[in-house]
Amino acid sequence: MTLLVSLPAFFRDGMNYKELVESHPEIMRDRHALSFSEQRRPADIADAFARSGVVMLKGALAPQTLETCVKAFRCFVDAPEASRTGRRRNGGANHSGSWYSPWAVRHQDCFPTAIIISALLRSWTWDVVEEICGSSHIAIVLKFCTARRGIDSPLGVGAHQDAKVVAPDIPLSIWIPLHHIVPNLNSGLGFVVPHPGRLLPTLPHDDVSAEFVLADPARLWIPAFAAGDLTIHSRFSPHFTTGYGTLSDRFSLEIRVTPRSDLSPTHEDPAICVSRRNGIPTIVEARSSAVSGAQAFLDCQQLAQAASEGVRKVGI
């Protein structure tokens, strides 16, 4: 599956992403009108999301905030301790990069995911998330969030649905690159539009076939992202990690959210819950077990800034 284990292109049949964007440059354009700015009503954006399964929010986060995060993330992956032990802290690695639980990524006192979550709660992104969820009581399912360093390797075409490879009941994921993404230069994310509204048949490694992805290039979208742009995709959105073989680095976060009332007890270790306090999206609860390893993250200064005075810390 593309999410955790991507097979090298030479193991796959068919087309790779370099050939795809070079033979169909139109797929890099937003032909489905799915990019939105802060001026658009959240209800319009949620309508587009319901129809197509993906939307892009332009300029959702401040590039300076992202710069701080990318620096900390890079220090974390470059830290000698990782290379010395060869151990991936709370994550994994393959030729296409490495991935970590968001609470594992820290440089000194800086947790990039905490900075980004605080920034998301202050940005218009959260109005859109609430509109899509139909509720202002939201859970951020940290258990299924990922901090990722992608290495731009040549990848064969395929796709996955998060309902299959992450969890069947998490309605949306926010994909946040920590810097700009340019197709053919660094690894990004692409989408098949519209989403089918159900699970698709998959190959043994849980990917949707290349045939499905390539059946109609008019359905494909491989967007460029400026620093601060993000996408929100649905659990049924067929999407894929792109790779062109430049070997450049990419740093990104996947944030999974669900209405608080739908948070399954099997998904809450760890999770944080957000509600409005005085009209402002605020962290009101943090849930984790002692073995999750998330305590330092949940207690960090960057999350505290977005939390209410009496935030409930629930041990599970």
Ligand X SMILES: O=C(O)CCC(=O)C(=O)O
Closest distance to ligand X from the beta carbon of 8 (Å): 15
For ligand X, the closer of residues 249 and 308 by Cβ is 249
Closest distance to ligand X from the beta carbon of 241 (Å): 3
Cα dihedral across residues 306, 233, 96, 91: positive or negative = positive
284 Cβ contact list (under 8 Å, min separation 6): 273, 274, 275, 277, 307, 308, 311, 312
131 binds, among ligand X, Fe ion, none (CB under 5 to 8 A by kind): none
| Residue with smallest beta-carbon separation from ligand X | 241
150 binds, among Fe ion, ligand X, none (CB under 5 to 8 A by kind): ligand X
Closest distance to ligand X from the beta carbon of 161 (Å): 9
* Contact flags string 113-152 toward ligand X, x per CB under 6 A: -----------------------------------x-x--
Q: Which of 130, 152, 162, 268 binds Fe ion (CB under 5 A)?
A: 162
Closest distance to ligand X from the beta carbon of 254 (Å): 4
Question: Are the beta carbons of 282 and 306 closer than 8 angstroms?
Answer: yes
* Contact flags string 220-259 toward ligand X, x per CB under 6 A: -------------------x-x----------x-x-----
Closest distance to ligand X from the beta carbon of 89 (Å): 18
Match 């605080």 to its residue by tokens. Answer: 118
| Residue with smallest beta-carbon separation from Fe ion | 162
Question: Are the beta carbons of 207 and 159 closer than 8 angstroms?
Answer: yes
* Contact flags string 169-188 toward ligand X, x per CB under 6 A: ----x-x-------------
For ligand X, the closer of residues 175 and 297 by Cβ is 175
- Angle subtended by helix axes 42-52 and 125-133, to nearest 10: 60
E strand or H helix at 48 = helix 42-52
Cα dihedral across residues 53, 57, 62, 64: positive or negative = positive
For ligand X, the closer of residues 256 and 311 by Cβ is 256
DSSP 8-state code for residue 168: T
101-134 core/surface letters (b: 16 or more CB in 10 A; e: else): bbbbbbbeebbbbbbbbbbbbebbbbbbbbbbbe
For ligand X, the closer of residues 202 and 252 by Cβ is 252
Task: Tell me the CB-side half-sphere exposure of residue 123, using CA atoms within 13 A.
Answer: 21
- The two structure tokens encoding residue 176: 């946040």
- Tell whether residue 105 is a contact of ligand X (CB under 6 A): no
| d(C-alpha 227, C-alpha 1), whole Å | 27
Question: Are the beta carbons of 153 and 213 closer than 8 angstroms?
Answer: no
- The two structure tokens encoding residue 161: 């649905």
Per CB under 5 A, which region of 113-121, 122-130, 161-169, 200-208 contacts Fe ion? 161-169
Question: Are the beta carbons of 240 and 14 closer than 8 angstroms?
Answer: no
- Tell whether residue 207 is a contact of Fe ion (CB under 5 A): no
- The residues binding Fe ion (CB under 5 A) are 162
- The residues binding ligand X (CB under 6 A) are 3, 148, 150, 162, 173, 175, 189, 239, 241, 252, 254
